[in-house]
Structure 1
């Protein structure tokens, strides 16, 4: 019954007039929304020093604002998704974009760090819920059997934000002040809101589900195993991305002006991997995740060994971004497969896992730096974490296959007797 309910949500895009009038524009509106969200998230990292200086707080204390955003994704997004379980996905997305505008607008006006932390939590609480509901709408537009591509489309805005939005936001902050960066995010978010109003389908097919169904999904062991696989495995991308600056200046001994170039190379890899990962996730149950994690592990080694060579570093940065993003759509498809009656909540949990990975990767990298092993050593922390994620996933495959194998063996025994 649950599977039929999910397939109904993901059926070909029909509304009360027959079909979605502008499927491509609907997908563009969703991607523009995630682009705005990604620009606000990653742009905050680029202006953190300016924020600390203006609010007269030490830099480590100013990072509480970034931590608060991640907490909003991890805690706030699943909570909002549960509370809004019965709400039509169109209505939910429009409400979330309003909350996003409020969170970022208030961030721009924050007179002190305490209020900035509160407002960044509010802004972060939108992210996972928006991605989850957006993935449901995208799957509805694409049709059955293409949920991986649907999630990749929604994620596409976030990957583009790492290439364009974050560097542009940093430049705006450097030239017009950190508050101007948040106003720019508000402007992009307002534009996204207008496109959502215009192009999201109006249909009862996008109605929500019961809170009981959503909560029931949280009682499934496979869901939490998949969240752990994502949080551990994806952490290596942040053990690299967080420390790209030191890679360029300290390890490769190049000018800081190359840091935005390195970030853009990494972002291009993410965009490429996300596009391909969306396709493979719909065709193969395990290949995207195993291939993505395995490819990442293979590419972390040359960074750790020869990353001081700029050509090696840039090539591997592109590769790590591509390999890891190749895996992420499969994570979403697997989560939704374990809880087909709660696709929006699974999207929120996926984004929560990504933010847990962000923390794990940054903490692991910081530990290796504190040990005095040099900037490139951060990749080994990522290597260990992704290896643990891959091993856990392989064990879950064995765990799910074992009952069927034992059943076949028992039947064979009966027949042979």
Structure 2
């Protein structure tokens, strides 16, 4: 029986796989709650904004996109706050409490009486997002062992990408058939199932008794942390500018019927994300820098392709796959970069990645809605996405240029010791 990376507790390979799958199941549930709004955006707009929908469908869809921004804002606020303040808590206990919060907030969103309350509950649902992925990535890294940190991050996020292949299309179908409220109740059930799986499978890990809120926040003193946050927040906004409005892109630009094409295109995007996430995880363990540059470049090319050929259904589908693959390859590399530049503040660094990406989520959704509301059509967010990705690439270039000139950071060239307590 192999030892865990922490070195003292002995776990069987089957137990390790079970624990990793349980952690990834949480990613599946989170991916479902975060992305199902994209497929159900017209249904939610019609149900929660009936007067605006009757006056102008485009304005109603753009307004409904605010719920994507509300969730993303919750992630931005919750990830550093929870991760920093809960660093002393046992990791398994913290994961379970985060899942309780997810379940309650998702049920509340499903029962929202009006659009305003829906925005509030989607914000609350976003609060535990980053902290869950951050802590789960640390636990997975310990279970998988040294030299596999980026792959551990990618494995946890595999649940999120699988959600886009299976969960989001299936729940979109449920929402289109039985109503969007039923869809969100289904998502709440996924969180409850994850609670049971983690309670049964994930080994106990103590928190770090020496870690303090102030020590975790010390990561913000490092300029390279801000560069890393910027490349994730701005650059990843390019993907969400496209993904938030994927349903009207399919129906109004490619002129495909909502059923079955919106769920099918979501499946294609999810497949791209799955492939890109795994490729990015392996490539990131080889070179974080090259993975970031190559992935951002690929996102730009695939967005340009999609924007130019979105009216042709088969080319739209190919473009969506390529955008999903390229964008997901960025994620584990940027998270690894954050963990490198944050030095000892591992918990907050692992969570901040999701704050950054959800700033991009909010920014892409908001700017996409703005250009739609100004009458530029549903292809306009794709071009907004291209500009955001270009800015992310510029920030990444500036980060590595400053690093080369100062010579202050060498951690990204070697594996980072997670220094986790023993698992038992």
TM-score, normalised with respect to structure 1: 0.87
Tell whether 2:173 aligns with 1:171.
yes
Q: Structure 1 residues 163 and 396, CA, compared in 2 at 3 Å: closer, same or farther?
A: same
Alpha carbons 2:172, 2:263 under 8 Å: kept? no
* 1:230 and 2:247 aligned: no
Is residue 169–residue 264 contact of structure 2 (8 Å, CA) maintained in 1?
no
Distance 1:263 1:164 in 2: 9
Shift of 1:310: 2.1
**Contact residue 13 and residue 142 of structure 1 kept, 8 A:** no
Indicate whether 1:351 and 2:319 are aligned. Answer: no
- The 3 A distance-change label for structure 1 pair 208 and 262 is farther
Distance 1:191 1:262, change over 3 A: same
Choose the corresponding residue for 1:285, options 277, 282, 288: 288
Task: State the structure with more CA Rg.
Answer: 1
Deviations 1:328-366 (A, max 9, x none): 111011000011422221222111111111122223333
Q: Shift in Å at residue 108 of structure 1?
A: 2.9
State the distance in 1 between where 2:305 and 2:9 align: 55
User: What corresponds to 1:153 in structure 2?
Assistant: 155
Deviation at 1:179, TM superposition (A): 2.5
Mapped to 2, the partners of 1:245 and 1:177 lie a distance apart of 16
- The structure 2 residue matched to 1:188, chosen from 182, 187, 190, is 190
Distance in 2, Cα, partners of 1:404 & 1:47: 48
**Residue 375 of structure 1 is aligned with which of 375, 378, 397?**
378
State the shift of 1:320 in Å.
1.2
Q: Which residue of 2 aligns with 1:384?
A: 387
Measure how far apart 1:150 and its partner are. 0.8
Contact between 2:235 and 2:391, CA under 8 Å: does it hold in 1? yes
Flag structure 1 segments of 5+ consecutive residues without an equivalent. Answer: 1-9, 406-417
Provide closer, same or farther for how the CA distance between residues 83 and 203 of structure 1 changes in structure 2, counting only shifts above 3 A: closer
Alignment correspondent of 1:29? 22
Equivalent pair of 2:269/2:324 in contact (CA under 8 Å): yes
Q: CA deviation at 1:86?
A: 0.9
Moved more, 142-151 or 103-112: 103-112
Residues 265 and 93 of structure 1: is their aligned pair in 2 closer, same or farther, counting only changes over 3 Å? same
Q: Does 1:305 align with 2:298?
A: no
Could you say if the C-alpha distance between residues 207 and 191 of structure 1 is closer, same or farther in structure 2, counting changes exceeding 3 Å? farther
Root-mean-square deviation (Å): 2.5
Tell me the residue number matched to 1:413. none
Judging changes above 3 Å, is the alpha-carbon distance between structure 1 residues 369 and 47 closer, same or farther for their aligned structure 2 residues? Answer: closer
Q: How many residues align?
A: 396
CA contact (8 A) 1:86 1:211 kept: no
Q: C-alpha separation between the residues in 2 aligned to 1:320 and 1:48?
A: 20
User: Whole-Å Cα distance in 2 between the matches of residues 15 and 90 of structure 1?
Assistant: 18
Give, in angstroms, the shift of residue 214 of structure 1. Answer: 0.5
Q: Any gaps of 5 or more consecutive residues in structure 2?
A: 53-59, 409-424
1:363 aligns with 2:366: yes
C-alpha contact 2:38 2:245 (8 A) present in aligned 1: no
Report the Cα distance in structure 2 between the residues aligned to 1:202 and 1:15, rounded to whole angstroms: 13
**Secondary structure of 1:183 counterpart:** helix
Change (3 A) 1:180 1:378: closer
Q: Return closer, same or farther for 1:273/1:55 CA change in 2, 3 Å cut-off.
A: closer
Question: TM-score, normalized by length of structure 2?
Answer: 0.86
Aligned-partner SS, 2:146: coil
Deviation at 1:64, TM superposition (A): 4.5
